Amino acid sequence: MQNGGQFRSLYRHGFARVAACTHVSTIADPDANAASILALAREVSEKGAALAVFPELALSAYAIDDLLLQDPLLDAVEVAAAWLIAETNELLPLLLVGAPLRYRGRVYNCALAIHRGRLLGVVPKIHLPNYREFYEKRHFASGAGIIGAEISVGGYSAPFGTDLLFAAEDYPALIAHVEVCEDVWVPIPPSAQAALAGATVLANLSASNITIGKAEVRNLLSRSQSARCLAAYLYAAAGAGESSTDLSWDGQASIFENGQTLAESARFPAGAQYAIADVDLDLIRQERMRMGSFDDNRRNTLLANYRRAIFTLDPPDLDLGLLRPVPRFPFVPADSARLAQDCYEGYNIQVSALMQRITAAGIKRLVIGISGGLDSTQALLVAAQAMDQLARPRADIFAYTMPGFATSDHTKNNALALMRALGVRVAELDIRPAATQMLRDMGHPFSDGKPVYDVTFENVQAGLRTDYLFRLANQHDGIVLGTGDLSELALGWCTYGVGDQMSHYNVNAGVPKTLIQHLIRWVIAHGHFPAPACRILESILDTEISPELVPAGDGEGPQSTEARIGPYALQDFTLYHVLRYGFRPSKIAFLAAHAWEDATRGAWPPNFPDDRRKAYSLAEIRHWLEVFIDRFFGFSQFKRSALPNGPKVLAGGALSPRGDWRAPSDGNAKIWLEELRRNVPEH
């Protein structure tokens, strides 16, 4: 949010509302079609749309064959176009409307770009289908090679050619390109070059009669084009009212962004309809900025010298809501099939990486500390599976539970029971005597019986556990398997050096806390381990997340990690958007508000417990976002700069200093905190 304004306005956070519209066509009646188009344009304008695309030859209808060469029809198209242009004077969106137009003795299948009473430009179709049911070359000339030209339409003069982009001068990220139907069916669509030239929103005006299976192909083409071009792609096909002499029409309208489907209309509508969604222009810009090969492709491609038709959008600074799905858990898909696939891949990424390390380094044994919490449980499951696949005995896993001053019977018993159920070597090593001696040697007040539970008290325990594990690895000719997860690394919630930050190899380093519980549930559901082990895993999933380093007072519950550093649900949400897209804190807060303010809105991951389906207010979101920024940018990078090896698991990113995240250990959080405090209200 660069210039103040309404925090809850989507246009303050790099979004643009767009619509793919299908009007009711009237055969060879441009006036009626213009009126139908205008009605839809007014409707999406009221909803705050910045751009709306209509079907191919929308002003005339598509399936009218030789009527396209009749002067009365072409005259009427220009009259209707002029009327439509004049009537848009008070409308918000850039309109992209199909029409047959005459130019230098030929007729062209064109897209008109109209905005607030102006004809910004006209783009002719390049690729004319002339096979099977299509005979466009009978009526139209190709726009191939037309650049730098001008055209007059109903008294309005405008640039004409395939070299046009439409750019909002007051909303620089919105740069639109137009192609017509068949243009996207060829190996190198015009929109590909336009994207390389800077277009962020690619629009396709289509007629495209329907046959069985064709809708799926259209979606595949459009979605893949949005992914290849790192862009938004809008597709609007002709629907009701088109001639059914030999063909039928389904009115398919869809909106895609960077390979994801944002909105789709119903097919075979009886009336007018549209798909509408908010595309994230910041996301597109960030993806292109990070993917250097996108720009390399531009440098190595002979591009047209595109002209930019400039317009002033003047978007509303109002709370219009947000018309796009915002996953609560960006690392955890809400779709059950997708989640199962992600868990299968994630678990096997961990297992195969560990197998490679064991094999390559000639490792004889694994040494691991088991707390009875989520992270060490997942690491142990991975270790057991790796040994199974290597045809090695699980007895080569030396697992230790190391109770400290605040270890509960519940977690300790779960740890012991799980180790026994999995058939690994089981040992208990009580760290309290050694910790007491160390605190006494240091002159710490706890050694005199005082209840001083400071960071030294906590880290003596965490450090001793790791110290013992490394010495045990020496003793047993093995390596220490790390258990800390991606979320803890992001927040610096680990003890540096001789502590849980360090290991010989960490299979969890690329897995966020919010995903680990689903990986364990997936292991249970797929029967990788016997029923007794699965019952213990269920108990572990139900346990409060706690480091168990500080004894609870009378009547108090166990030490809570999330009460200290924030709900992992919110902190993983922030981590994803910082790591993957580099978004501003104010934008992350805006997205988090739409994802988390209402627990009844949107989808939850499969089997997510009802009692954990919480909502968070904007004030809570802002507070925990500030905590994240302070910890992530302010002081914890030195812990990540010295990370042991471990596999990247998610496309959302990792924190290895050798991979996804490279940052100075002596950085600071100043500009991120200032942006948050300046642009996000406190309530």
Q: What is the CATH number of the domain that holds 547?
A: 3.40.50.620
Active-site residue identified among 21, 56, 136, 343: 56
Chain segment 10-50, per-residue pLDDT in tens? 999 999 999 999 999 999 999 999 999 999 999 999 999 99
Separation between Cα atoms, residue 404 and residue 431, nearest integer Å: 6
pLDDT at residue number 5: 57
Query: Which residues have CB under 8 Å from 262's CB, separation 6+?
Result: 232, 255, 256, 277, 278, 279, 324, 325
Supply the range of the domain harboring residue 599: 336-679
Please check whether residues 385 and 267 belong to one and the same domain: no
Among 261, 276, 311, residue at a domain's last position: 311
Task: Indicate if 557 and 605 belong to the same structural domain.
Answer: yes
My answer on whether 277 and 416 are in the same domain is no
Do 512 and 377 reside in the same domain of the chain?
Answer: yes
Q: Tell me the C-alpha to C-alpha distance, in Å, between residue 4 and each of 373, 376, 619.
A: 44, 46, 19
- How many domains does the structure of the chain reveal? 2
- pTM here? 0.94
Query: How far is 610 from 517, CA to CA, in rounded Å?
Result: 15
Catalytic option among 125, 412, 513, 587 = 125
Q: Is 674 a catalytic residue?
A: no
62 inside domain: yes
Q: In what order do the strands lie in the sheet with 273-280?
A: 149-153, 156-160, 118-124, 106-115, 94-103, 51-53, 15-22, 273-280
Taking the CA of residue 189 as centre, how many other CA atoms within 13 Å lie in the half-sphere pointing to its CB?
24
Report d(CA 508, CA 349) in Å as an integer: 10
Catalytic residue selected from 21, 136, 179, 181: 181
Q: Mean pLDDT, consecutive 10-residue segments, the chain of 683 residues?
A: 70 98 96 98 98 98 94 98 98 98 98 99 95 87 97 98 98 98 93 97 92 88 96 94 82 95 93 97 97 90 90 97 96 95 98 98 97 96 98 98 94 96 97 96 94 94 96 97 97 93 97 97 93 95 88 80 95 98 98 97 90 96 98 97 96 92 96 98 90
The pair phi, psi for residue 564, each rounded to 5°, is -90, -45
CB count within 10 Å of CB 5 equals: 13
Same domain flag for 261 and 409: no
326: in domain:
no
Burial class (CB in 10 A: 0-12, 13-18, 19+), 169: exposed
As beta bridge partners, residue 280 has 15
What confidence tens digit (pLDDT) does each residue in 129-185 have?
A: 888 877 888 999 999 999 999 999 999 999 999 999 999 999 999 999 999 998 998
Q: Evaluate whether residue 548 is within a structural domain.
A: yes
Asked if residue 329 belongs to a domain, the reply is no
- Same domain for 273 and 346? no
Whether 358 and 285 map to the same domain: the answer is: no
E-only strand ranges, 614-677: none
Query: Is the same domain home to 347 and 467?
Result: yes
Residue 4 has a pLDDT of: 44
233: domain CATH number is 3.60.110.10
Task: Say whether both 187 and 267 belong to one domain.
Answer: yes
In this structure, the answer to whether residues 39 and 166 fall within a common structural domain is yes
Query: What is the predicted pLDDT for the residue at 1?
Result: 41
Residues 303 and 364 in one domain: no
pLDDT of residue 49: 99
pLDDT of residue 3: 42
Residue 639 is among the residues annotated as catalytic for this protein: no
Domain annotation covers residue 322: no
227: which 2 tokens?
Answer: 């992914």
User: Chain-centre distance of CA 641, in angstroms?
Assistant: 26
- Using CA of residue 7, residue 202, residue 93, residue 253, what is the dihedral sign? negative
Separation between Cα atoms, residue 68 and residue 108, nearest integer Å: 10
Task: Examine the residue annotation and report whether 137 is marked as an active-site residue of this protein.
Answer: no
Could you tell me if residue 46 is inside a domain?
Answer: yes
Residue 128 maps to a domain: yes
Do 231 and 362 lie in one domain? The reply is no
Whether 8 is covered by a domain: the verdict is no
What's at 393, amino acid-wise? P
